[in-house]
Amino acid sequence: MSPRPNPVNVNPASPASGPRRRRGCLGCLAQLLWQAAIALALGVVLILAITAIFAPWSFYLGGQFHIIPYWQGWGKMHAKSGDYVVFVEFGPTSRGSHVIAHSNLKGIGYLCTPRGEELRMSLGGSMRPYLPVSTDGEPIDLYMNYWPALYGQFITDRRPGIELRGHWKNPNLVMDDTGSIFRAFLPDGSVYRGHDTNHPYNGEVVPVTLAKGSYSEFKAACADVKK
């Protein structure tokens, strides 16, 4: 009888047969961050592509092409109650009335009062539907209501509210306040928070030209208007 072969001695601790080394937490975190960055980049590209299809004019607000479809600018309003500075930043939105067709706008605004108060505002607006790429000469309406950054959703009194109406005169917006400063503020520049039925509605209409500019430029102008 031939001798039986010796069994193969398998060492469970040998590198060839042992378990694979696990990646550390830092490796997993790096992979997750990389995947999140790719997903975010694809999401941004998708949003830009959709905007380019349905609102190509938003890439040319102010008369020049910009890769981010929004516009920002500021201007001064000289009213009888004092000097005000307004800053706006807005772009297209799909939200708005589905009964009356408009090119709807959404963003934020800031209003600096003659007392040096800086009020953060929620901004909405509209232009006519089916706009061409160039909006030069096109009418535009903007409206803003008080909306503090941290607790805006918890307040019910949105005053002050102002409205700006005018048209594009690239690269600027030439507008007036439709009398909203007169309605929203008292003669001393403080916000009107009363409920007097005899409070006058019609009054001074204040012109304003909004020029392309940054929030920091608005801040500097706001510091100059304090009484």
Three-state secondary structure of the chain: CCCCCCCCCCCCCCCCCCCCCCCCHHHHHHHHHHHHHHHHHHHHHHHHHHHHHHCHHHHHCCCCCCCCCCEEEEEEEEECCEEEEEEEEEEECCCCCCCCCCEEEEEEEEEECCCCCEEEEEEEEEECCCCCCCCCCCEEEEEEEECCCCCHHHCCCCCCEEEEEEEEECCEEEEECCCHHHHHECCCCCECCCCCCCCCCCCCCCEEEEEECCHHHHHHHHHHHCC
Q: What pLDDT score was predicted for residue 32?
A: 81
pLDDT tens for each residue of 184-217? 999 999 999 999 988 899 999 999 999 999 999 9
Q: What pLDDT score was predicted for residue 63?
A: 95
Across the range 41-45, mean pLDDT stands at: 73
pLDDT tens for each residue of 75-131? 999 999 999 999 999 999 987 555 557 899 999 999 999 999 999 999 999 999 999
Residue partners of 83: CB distance under 8 A and separation at least 6: 76, 77, 114, 225
Q: What pLDDT score was predicted for residue 36?
A: 81
Q: How confident is the model at residue 43 (pLDDT cuts 50, 70, 90)?
A: confident
Q: What pLDDT score was predicted for residue 100?
A: 59
Q: What pLDDT score was predicted for residue 185?
A: 97
Q: How confident is the model at residue 2 (pLDDT cuts 50, 70, 90)?
A: low
Q: How confident is the model at residue 14 (pLDDT cuts 50, 70, 90)?
A: low
Distance CA 181, CA 196 (A): 17
Q: What pLDDT score was predicted for residue 57?
A: 96
- Cβ atoms 87, 108 nearer than 8 A: no
The pLDDT of residue 28 is above 80: yes
Q: What pLDDT score was predicted for residue 17?
A: 53
pTM of the predicted model, to two decimals? 0.81
The pLDDT of residue 167 is above 80: yes
Percent of the chain with pLDDT over 70: 86
